[in-house]
Amino acid sequence: MEQISVAAAREPEAIGRQVRVHGWIRTRRDSKGGFSFLEINDGSCLANVQVIADSQLANYEADVKRLAPGCSVTVQGEIKASAGQGQATEIHAQQVLVHGWADPEQYPLQKKRHTFEKLREWAHLRPRTNAFGAIARLRNEISCSIHRFFQDEGFLYVQTPIITTSDCEGAGQMFRVTTLDAAKPPRNQQGEVDFEQDFFRRPSYLTVSGQLEAEVFATALGKVYTFGPTFRAENSNTSRHLAEFWMVEPEMAFFDLIDNMDLAERFLKRLFRDCLEHCLEDMRFFNERIDNTTIHTLQKIVESNFVRLSYTEAVEILLGSGKKFEYPVGWGQDLQSEHERYLTEEKFDGPVILTDYPASIKPFYMRVNDDGQTVRAMDVLVPKVGEIIGGSQREERLDVLEDRMRQQGLDPEAYWWYLDLRRFGTVPHAGFGLGLERVVQFVSGMGNIRDCIPFPRTPGNADF
Binding site residues, Mg ion, CB under 5 A: 390
Residue 387 is a binding residue for ligand 4AD (CB under 6 A): yes
CB under 8 Å to 288, separation ≥6 — which residues?
A: none
CB 72 within 8 A of CB 100: yes
Question: Taking CB within 5 to 8 Å according to partner kind, which of Mg ion, ligand 4AD, none is near residue 245?
Answer: ligand 4AD
User: Binder to ligand 4AD among 38, 46, 102, 168 (CB under 6 A)?
Assistant: 168
Residue 389 is a binding residue for ligand 4AD (CB under 6 A): yes
68 exposure class (CB count in 10 Å sphere: 0-12, 13-18, 19+):
middle
Q: Which residues pair with 49 in a beta bridge?
A: 40
Residue 388 is a binding residue for ligand 4AD (CB under 6 A): yes
Question: Taking CB within 5 to 8 Å according to partner kind, which of ligand 4AD, Mg ion, none is near residue 231?
Answer: none
Question: Taking CB within 5 to 8 Å according to partner kind, which of Mg ion, ligand 4AD, none is near residue 44?
Answer: none
Q: Backbone phi, then psi, for 209, in 5-degree steps?
A: -175, 145
Residue 211 is a binding residue for ligand 4AD (CB under 6 A): yes
Q: What H or E segment, with its residue span, contains residue 8?
A: helix 6-9
Smallest distance, ligand 4AD to C-beta of residue 436, A: 8
Smallest distance, ligand 4AD to C-beta of residue 409, A: 18
Question: Taking CB within 5 to 8 Å according to partner kind, which of ligand 4AD, Mg ion, none is near residue 433?
Answer: ligand 4AD
- Report the amino acid identity of residue 305: N
Stretch that binds ligand 4AD, among 34-42, 196-204, 237-245, 343-351 (CB under 6 A): 237-245
Smallest distance, ligand 4AD to C-beta of residue 338, A: 17
Q: Measured at CB, which residue is nearest to ligand 4AD?
A: 390
Smallest distance, ligand 4AD to C-beta of residue 159, A: 15
The order of strands in the sheet holding 204-206 is 163-164, 204-206, 176-177
Smallest distance, ligand 4AD to C-beta of residue 319, A: 24
Per DSSP bridges, beta strands 223-231 and 156-157 are parallel
Smallest distance, Mg ion to C-beta of residue 135, A: 24
Site string for ligand 4AD, 328-367 (x = CB under 6 A): ----------------------------------------
C-beta closer to ligand 4AD: residue 42 or 167: 167
CB 452 within 8 A of CB 441: yes
Residue 209 is a binding residue for ligand 4AD (CB under 6 A): yes
C-beta closer to Mg ion: residue 168 or 368: 168
385: left (phi over 0), alpha (psi -120 to 50) or beta: alpha
167 exposure class (CB count in 10 Å sphere: 0-12, 13-18, 19+):
buried
CB 53 within 8 A of CB 78: no
Residue 150 is a binding residue for ligand 4AD (CB under 6 A): no
C-beta closer to Mg ion: residue 51 or 449: 449
C-beta closer to ligand 4AD: residue 130 or 310: 310
Between the two ends of the chain, the Cα-to-Cα distance in Å is: 39
C-beta closer to ligand 4AD: residue 14 or 388: 388
Gap between the Cα atoms of 151 and 69, Å rounded? 42
Gap between the Cα atoms of 253 and 215, Å rounded? 8
Residue 247 is a binding residue for ligand 4AD (CB under 6 A): yes
CB under 8 Å to 198, separation ≥6 — which residues?
A: 178, 179, 180, 204
Stretch that binds ligand 4AD, among 11-19, 116-124, 129-137, 385-393 (CB under 6 A): 385-393
Instruction: Look at residues 380, 441, 456 and name the one whose alpha carbon lies nearest to residue 135.
Output: 441
User: Binder to ligand 4AD among 46, 49, 67, 242 (CB under 6 A)?
Assistant: 242
C-beta closer to Mg ion: residue 44 or 260: 260
Per DSSP bridges, beta strands 49-54 and 374-382 are unpaired
Q: Backbone phi, then psi, for 186, in 5-degree steps?
A: -65, 145
C-beta closer to Mg ion: residue 225 or 432: 432
Residue 432 is a binding residue for ligand 4AD (CB under 6 A): yes
Residue 396 is a binding residue for ligand 4AD (CB under 6 A): no
Gap between the Cα atoms of 179 and 197, Å rounded? 9
Stretch that binds ligand 4AD, among 241-249, 314-322, 323-331, 408-416 (CB under 6 A): 241-249
SS3 31: strand
From the CB of residue 446, how many other CB atoms can be counted at a distance below 10 Å? 25
Question: Taking CB within 5 to 8 Å according to partner kind, which of ligand 4AD, Mg ion, none is near residue 271?
Answer: none
Give residues in contact with ligand 4AD (CB under 6 A). Answer: 168-169, 209, 211, 232, 241-242, 245, 247, 249, 387-391, 431-435, 437-438
